[in-house]
Amino acid sequence: MTQLFNNAQEWQTLKDGIVTLAKQEVLSRFEKVTSTTKADGSVLTEADTEMQKATAEFLMKQWPQFDFLGEESSQEEQAEALRSTQGCWILDPVDGTSNFASGIPIFSVSLALVVNGQVVAGMVYDPDRDELFAARKGLGAELNHHPLVAETPKTALKKCIGIVDFKRLSAELALKLVQTPPYASQRSIGSVALDWCWIAAGRGQVYCHGAQNIWDYAAGWLIVEEAGGQSATLDGESVLVDRVVKRSAVAATTPELFKEWQDYLA
């Protein structure tokens, strides 16, 4: 693991920089921009492109040794960045763009640093709530400078809030969840990065999503892991892979709850 962000001052510089840019480039445009549709059908706004541009410039100036991958980069640029032997920043400039473009105040900026196939640092900033979730590998997770630890009391699955995105699940699994829900209540908030962070914070206790990209999950995945949660794909594999390919995700606040959730989903 890189020792770069073991330095408290450097870590603070990174966090402050992302928060400042998110306020300038994203929050300032909320409810003021129009959107377009990309070739894959997803939504794009000026906030996405300007936040990515400004963040890339900030990161390259401060830490030029690392490559950069943004959601709005070309596929060729993304693949090349992930091949970097030094490390690669992975940015989702606006996670939850559909919410953002529709005036729904649930969106975030997600940034992770991947070195040798491992996420070594990650942060997710919610500009509307002014909440910064962050983690460094082996050093724990935090929310606005306070330690973030997933709930430790044993919670039965039937008493949990499940954060579940039905749209990207198989029809069979989605129907099972609707007909025989194992949890007390279900939510879908429209920002994958915040999905992960809300699990880490205990706002939901179990999570399931059928297909997300590395810029969606990289930072949030580390935050959940460092908060004491556990995750895997629906097939039981590691969610994290160092290539641009969609991955399913299952997570829970504790290992015990994770096993119960996995058993239900199997």
Mean pLDDT value across residues 66-70? 96
Query: For 137-166, how does the pLDDT look when each residue is reduced to its tens digit (9 = 90+)?
Result: 999 999 999 999 876 667 899 999 999 999
> Quick one: pLDDT band at residue 3, thresholds 50, 70, 90?
low
Same domain, 26 and 137: yes
Query: For 189-220, how does the pLDDT look when each residue is reduced to its tens digit (9 = 90+)?
Result: 999 999 999 999 999 999 999 999 999 999 99
Torsion of CA 257, 238, 126, 42, to 10 degrees: -120
Residue 142: per-residue pLDDT: 98
Same domain, 131 and 186: no
Number of domains in the chain: 2
Q: Hey, what are 98's tokens?
A: 């559909």
Q: Tokens 């556990």 correspond to what residue? A: 230
Buried b (16+ CB within 10 A) or exposed e, 165-192: bbeebeeebbeebeeeebbeebbebbbb
Distance CA 149, CA 43 (A): 33
Q: What is the CATH number of the domain that holds 208?
A: 3.40.190.80
Instruction: Give just the sign of the alpha carbon dihedral 125, 131, 136, 141.
Output: negative
Residue 106 sits in which domain range? Answer: 4-148
Same domain, 43 and 142: yes
Same domain, 129 and 68: yes
Q: What is the pTM of this model?
A: 0.95
Same domain, 12 and 132: yes
pLDDT at residue 1 greater than cutoff 70: no
Quickly list DSSP for 158-175.
Answer: GGPEEEE-GGGS-HHHHH
